[in-house]
Amino acid sequence: MNETKKKAKEIMSKYQFLIKEDMTNYNVFGRYSEKAKQCALKCVDEIIERVKELDPNDSSYYYMGEQKFWQQVKEEINKL
């Protein structure tokens, strides 16, 4: 499993637990609730916006890679 897919599943699992949905739903159907997906997407959107606010002149190339990473995490969440 690639790193972005792993992170997407990790975030979704945390929101699934936090919104107290029936975890049996995930185990039986192999999918997360739409509420958990919406929460996870909002979280990742906030991270992407924060990374965009960084001044590229003051940031290392690492931060530019972070934006790409989180965009890929968002794509993986949408696939779940």
Contact between 66 and 72 under an 8 Å Cβ cutoff? The reply is no
Query: 0.75 cut: is pTM over it?
Result: no
pLDDT band at 73 (very low <50, low <70, confident <90, very high): very high
Residue 28 is predicted with a pLDDT of 45
DSSP 3-state of 55: coil
Model confidence pLDDT, tens digit, residues 18-37 = 666 555 555 444 556 777 88
Question: For residue 80, what are its two tokens?
Answer: 């779940």
Contact between 77 and 14 under an 8 Å Cβ cutoff? The reply is no
Bigger pLDDT: 73 vs 22: 73
pLDDT band at 11 (very low <50, low <70, confident <90, very high): confident
